[in-house]
Amino acid sequence: SAVISQKPSRDICQRGTSLTIQCQVDSQVTMMFWYRQQPGQSLTLIATANQGSEATYESGFVIDKFPISRPNLTFSTLTVSNMSPEDSSIYLCSVEDSGRWKNYEQYFGPGTRLTVT
């Protein structure tokens, strides 16, 4: 199974600023994903980070607000831009494991807890 780390683990930011979250995987993976989990809520997929092409965003999320980079097969970043208190959430990255004889599953990082004041 993949081991995923995220930096920072938490941060407190002022409104109007931007924060870049890093996600590092210990093996090469094709697809990486970014999720948001608002306080007390479930997870919502933000976008799929594709290596060598632009990220694919889900409905309600746009590139200007959440730019994503995917420079190689083990690393991705998510930037939360021009933050407001409504952006206070846990941001998680995940990778898929869809080996031929395995169940489809995703491995999640520990998350980045963001508080915007």
Does 101 interact with another protein (rule: CB under 8 A)?
Answer: no
x-marked contacts with another protein along 39-68 as a string, rule CB under 8 A? ---xxxx--x--------------------
Tokens of 108: 């999640």
Question: DSSP letters along 16-85, please?
Answer: T--EEEEEEESS--SEEEEEEE-TT--EEEEEEEETTS--EEPTT--TTTS-EEEEETTEEEEEE-S--G
**Total site size for another protein, rule CB under 8 A:** 22
Q: Which of residues 4-43 bind another protein (CB under 8 A)?
A: 4, 31, 33, 42-43
Residues that bind another protein in the complex, under the rule CB under 8 A = 4, 31, 33, 42-45, 48, 92, 94, 96, 98, 103-111, 113
